[in-house]
Amino acid sequence: LICSSSCAVLCCACPALSQLSATAKVVMATRMLCRAWQQPQFTRAATKVAAAVAPPLRRASLSTTSPCRESDTVLTSQEGPVFFITLNRPEVRNAVDAATAKVLFESFRAFESLDDAKVAVFSGSDGTFCSGYDLKSLSTQHDDDAETTTLYHVGQGHAPMGPSRMTCSKPVIAAVEGHAVAGGLELSLVADMRVAASDSVFGVFCRRFGVPLIDGGTVRLPALVGLSRALDLILTGRPVSAEEAMNMGLANRVCEPGQALAVATELANTIAQFPQQCMLADRASAYRSAYSAGTVEEHLDFEFRNGFNVLDEALRGARQFAEGAGRGGQPLR
């Protein structure tokens, strides 16, 4: 009852919030109450409460890996023509491990299969889009372990980050709060458009740890921002602010912190109202022209094969990260 009242207050204060999924509304309301009661330890429970109160269209399976044993790692729901996909591993800043990647991939496939879902909004819980691949989980693996084996045998199925080898037939909008870095940057590039909070950060942060871009970063980023700007990000691994991302074409909208989901949802509803056959035909033609030197699948295959030549270095970097090296942007020794 209290959560329902809080949801009503939120929607009255900001009409754009009325477009949010029921799950997102309850999450925001619960977190608002937690702050009011000065009980931040309940914040992580907000998503679990929301999942119980507002049942999603499809509930992703529970992760079998720590540290999110008690939470769904991917939440999905549908509100009218808009399909919501939310990464939910807040304890690791929504980093993706092998189990989460598979669930995320299946969530995108579910969106593709639903005729009445016209646009997807892809976001991360707890103020972070995605911090990349879960290097701690990778650092504990050996060459014969299931997780490493999954990376080596991606083929035409899900990629290390999940849906990054997919070419969706319908629009996807990424709602970026906090960090979209390393593999998280690559996941944001799966989307047609990115709505970024003004304090959000993009970047190829995996550069310092020797982890290659094998989830579309070297294919999609140059197509979006041009080779020169893409190489700047790829070679330096530097952070990119929302303002700079907007100027270079990486972000399509910049909004106030905490409003990315609401703005992305409003944009998705606008796109969903247009005649769909014409819009999808124009979208497909634009993608074809952007990858005129070959299909996106051919580029992705080359990127993946090329990146795995340095997987040993990536594993060493993951172990350095797990041991605490490079935190807070400190240089590696």
The residues, any chain, with a CB within 8 Å of residue 231's CB and separated by 6 or more, are 222
- The set of residues, in sequence order, having a beta carbon less than 8 Å from that of 325 and lying 6+ positions away, is 332, 333
199-254 pLDDT, tens per residue?
A: 999 999 999 988 889 889 999 999 999 999 999 999 999 999 999 999 999 999 99
- 118 φ, ψ (degrees, to nearest 5): -90, -35
Q: Residue 27's closest CA among 8, 9, 50?
A: 50
pTM: 0.70
Q: pLDDT tens for residues 267-316?
A: 999 999 998 988 998 898 888 878 866 677 777 777 777 677 777 777 87
